[in-house]
Structure 1
Amino acid sequence: MRVATSADRPAIVALHLASWQSTYGIELSDAVLRDVLPGYLSDKWAARSFGSDQITLLAFDGDRLAGFVCALTDRPIPLIDNLHVAPPLRGGGLGARLLKGVNAALAERGFRRSDLTVLSRNTRAYAFYLAQGGEDEGEEEDMLVGTPVRVRRIGFDLT
């Protein structure tokens, strides 16, 4: 694993897009996944500074980006904003290593908790986060690419 730099943006966007297109059809239409999402994710990552207000870790399979995790640290409880593994590599433990890595980096910066949201209908990801020690803190409303969705907030104790 290594820390991301701005040079990694294209690879991050490509993996993020592949991950959402393979999973988020439970909430987003095919048209949004195909026509809107590429620009949305490109804009999202173009706005990221890869500075001290976030921690983005990358994992590789050879020379290819296999997964990444990003935590936003500009708040009292950091938000794990993204954790994505290339669809063909899911289930092999990479997601767990990325989550542990980012939570360890957050703890090193003095944070005591982190949290994230997961789509309520994404039962596989929900089960994964609970298996990694996350605590379900309840369901709430959110927006995903302009679409109202229900999410579950998952918290992690970093002490």
Structure 2
Amino acid sequence: MSTIAVVPGSFDPVTLGHLDVIERAAGIFDEVHVVVVHNPAKEAMLPIAQRVSLIEQAVADRALPDSILVTSWSVGLLVDYCSDVGASVLVKGVRSQVDVAYETPMAIVNRNLAGVETIFMLPDPAHAHVSSSLVRQVSALGGDVAPYVPRAVAEYLDTVDQD
């Protein structure tokens, strides 16, 4: 029996910290679905299709396993997606106690609604300070985001910032 995990996020944009979590999840589970979701509490910088494309490029550039599928989900609950694909676990990267406090109620509700467990993965210390919102801010102010994001994202943001 194969174990399918879902790594959800807004990935606006995907960072090296996100990729670290995705790669480590791929080392634990037979199949990993990276699911770009819409967060109604956030105003997105990148369209969902662009985020999916950038994650696919980053996964390919790092030669990550073929067992990683990148997609999006915007209709219904995330646990509905999990049920549709047979996933029994969500993997969430957490950088601090603030992230844990935010994620814990959702983890409990997801388990209650659909029996989907959530695993919290601590970051690689090299990426623990990086968030997508920080990358967006640095990029908007003309700073170099290359140390924090995959090559495809840095190149994309450079072209967008030049427009």
Common fold: TM-score over 0.5: no
- TM-score normalised to structure 1 length: 0.31
- TM-score normalised to structure 2 length: 0.30
Bigger helix share: 2
Bigger strand share: 1
Higher relative contact order (CA 8 A, sep 6+): 2
